[in-house]
């Protein structure tokens, strides 16, 4: 957690309860200690006949008496909440970019209200930070306003908790204010998209135009063959050189036939039924996940965002389905605005109470579409989905999003993870034996994912000449 940078926007404030009839001020422990020390020294000096000892306690008593008389706003003066130091947390509107969350704490310190403002800043997964700031000079007529920029670093995506701040004013180290709680809202952090090259595509392409060459005849740039002219062929496609060579008398005209261009359709299926981190102790739902270690759902969001951007930039259509939510899927479309909708849907993907309910049937996939399944493969549900889609003729690419698990210290956790790991390896081996490509997206293997996708795309080209296809 860092205090730095400046961003001002809209936000909300919640104030703490007042313990002194709306004034919210109390004497500090320093004042009590000064009074106690002065009384003790004065009593010892009188009893022992030591005036020098008694005089040592007099300054502490005088300082305590003077500080008590300088109550914020004056003795008996009525005050309201706006007359005390308070803060308002301002956060940027909309979604946030991954890696960093920013906000601005606006402190308002009226004249004669406080000389020091204490802040206690906390956030989920971060250490609590305490800051003491000097208030503005009390000679100012207008209410001094001070902006304290805040920055929070995290690799997590999706809904994230932001800052919780306690504001407390102090005057002459004698009076201290009851803490005022300033709370932030939940922020939605969109996943970042990494660079990818070519990706596996479905065997059949749809549409009358697009960036890829289909297997049917039509307008395109890739030559299919030279064929005699037939009714319906366009005159501009006549190949006069071939006609002159094969039919010098121009008895037969020859035309150049090409492959039609089309676009691919892909469905991104995110298995958000569970969200596990590298620490096995947090898999039971207890404990706090670290903000510097991505979870399986963070990896799934990042992988799906990378695949979606690569497909959209190539001119293909992309849709999205969330296995944990029983809602209508995001239909396939293309364009930058649709990519923004896909990223927003990925950020909203999270486990729900109904996530453990078994689906009666797999999500519906458009015809001639390839399926990218992002899952940890910790149960048999992904196998059921993959086999059903492949039985209907849809090619499937499984992206493994389980993070690198840390070695457990407890023996029962090591045994449980060993059993779960062997079951998971059996599922992955079964999918690989059925011809389903598996791409690992965790740790150092994430950097090699683009190479793996490129190899799958090239392998498909060897099986389907003339166009890019899927394995």
User: What digits encode the pLDDT tens for the residues 35-51?
Assistant: 888 788 878 888 888 88
Q: Across 193-264, where does the E strand assignment appear?
A: 212-217, 223-228, 254-262
**13 Cβ contact partners less than 8 Å away, ≥ 6 residues apart:** 86, 87, 88, 89, 182, 183
Residue 212: per-residue pLDDT: 55
- Domain range summary for the chain, segments of one domain joined by +: 11-23+77-188, 26-69, 215-261, 265-463
Distances (CA, A) of 182 to 109, 122, 167, 334: 15, 11, 7, 42
Helix axis angle, 336-348 relative to 296-313, nearest 10°?
170
Which residues of the chain register pLDDT less than 50?
4-22, 75-81, 138-140, 464-471
Q: Across 11-163, where does the E strand assignment appear?
A: 11-12, 25-27, 86-90, 99-108, 116-122, 129-134, 145-154, 158-160
Q: How many whole angstroms separate alpha carbon 395 and alpha carbon 470?
A: 7
User: DSSP class of residue 81?
Assistant: G
**91 Cβ contact partners less than 8 Å away, ≥ 6 residues apart:** 9, 10, 11, 102, 103, 104, 162, 184, 185, 187
Q: Across 34-128, where does the E strand assignment appear?
A: 86-90, 99-108, 116-122
Are the C-beta atoms of 16 and 165 separated by less than 8 Å?
no
Q: What angle do CA 100, 104, 107 make, to 5 degrees?
A: 155
Element (H, E) at 426: helix 411-433
- Written as six digits, the tokens of 195 are 């660079």
Q: How many whole angstroms separate alpha carbon 402 and alpha carbon 375?
A: 7
**434 Cβ contact partners less than 8 Å away, ≥ 6 residues apart:** 386, 387, 390
Element (H, E) at 296: helix 296-313
Q: How many whole angstroms separate alpha carbon 227 and alpha carbon 80?
A: 91
Q: DSSP assignment of 328-394, as one string? A: PPEEEE-SHHHHHHHHHHHHH----TTTTSPPSSPPP--TTEEEEEEE---SSHHHHHHHHHHHTT-
Closest CA to 384 of 436, 345, 349, 422: 436
Residue in the structure block whose two tokens are 């969200």: 275
Q: How many whole angstroms separate alpha carbon 470 and alpha carbon 131?
A: 57
45 phi-psi bin (left φ>0, alpha ψ -120 to 50, beta other): alpha
Residue 7: per-residue pLDDT: 32
- 11-23+77-188: CATH, from 3.30.200, 1.10.3470, 1.25.40, 2.60.40: 2.60.40
Domain 265-463 sits in CATH at 3.40.50
Q: How many whole angstroms separate alpha carbon 18 and alpha carbon 79?
A: 12
């Amino acid at each position: 957690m860092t205090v730095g940078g400046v961003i001002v926007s809209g936000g909300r404030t919640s104030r703490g309860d007042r313990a002194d009839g709306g004034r919210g001020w109390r004497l500090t422990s320093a004042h009590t200690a000064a009074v106690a020390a002065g009384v003790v020294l004065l009593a010892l000096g009188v009893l022992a006949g030591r005036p020098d000892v008694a005089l040592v306690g007099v300054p502490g008593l005088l300082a305590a008496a003077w500080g008590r008389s300088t109550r914020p706003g004056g003795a008996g003066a009525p005050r309201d909440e706006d007359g005390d130091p308070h803060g308002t947390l301002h956060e940027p509107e909309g979604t946030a970019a991954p890696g960093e969350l920013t906000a601005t704490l606006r402190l308002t310190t009226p004249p004669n209200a406080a000389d020091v403002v204490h802040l206690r800043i906390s956030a989920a997964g971060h250490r609590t930070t305490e800051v003491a700031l000097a208030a503005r000079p009390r000679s100012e007529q207008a209410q001094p306003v001070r902006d304290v920029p805040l920055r929070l670093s995290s690799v997590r995506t999706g809904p994230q908790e932001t800052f919780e701040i306690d504001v407390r004013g102090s005057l002459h180290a004698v009076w201290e204010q009851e803490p005022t709680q300033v709370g932030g809202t939940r922020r939605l952090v969109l996943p970042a998209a990494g660079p990818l090259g070519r990706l596996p595509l479905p065997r059949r392409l749809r549409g009358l135009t697009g960036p890829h060459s289909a297997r049917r005849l039509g307008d395109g740039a890739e030559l299919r063959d030279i064929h005699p002219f037939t009714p319906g062929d366009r005159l501009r496609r006549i190949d006069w050189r071939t006609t002159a060579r094969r039919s010098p008398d121009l008895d037969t005209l020859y035309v150049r036939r090409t492959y039609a261009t089309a676009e691919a359709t892909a469905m991104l299926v995110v298995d958000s039924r569970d969200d596990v981190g590298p620490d096995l102790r947090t898999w039971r739902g207890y404990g706090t996940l670290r903000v510097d270690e991505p979870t399986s759902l963070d990896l799934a969001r990042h992988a799906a965002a990378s695949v979606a951007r690569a497909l959209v930039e190539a001119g293909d259509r992309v849709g999205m389905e969330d296995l944990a939510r029983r809602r209508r899927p995001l239909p396939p479309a293309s364009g930058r605005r649709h990519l923004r909708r896909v990223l927003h849907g990925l950020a909203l993907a999270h486990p729900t109470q109904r996530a453990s309910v078994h689906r009666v049937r797999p999500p519906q996939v458009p015809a001639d579409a390839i399926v990218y399944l992002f899952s940890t493969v910790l149960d048999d549900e992904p196998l059921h989905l993959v086999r059903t889609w492949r039985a209907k003729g849809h090619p499937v690419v499984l992206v493994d999003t389980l993070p690198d698990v840390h070695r457990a210290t407890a023996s029962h956790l090591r045994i449980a993870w060993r059993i779960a790991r062997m079951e998971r390896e059996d599922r992955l081996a079964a999918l690989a034996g059925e011809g389903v490509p598996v791409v690992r997206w965790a740790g150092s293997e994430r950097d090699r994912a683009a190479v793996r996708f490129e190899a799958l795309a090239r392998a498909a080209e060897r099986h389907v000449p003339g166009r890019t296809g899927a394995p």
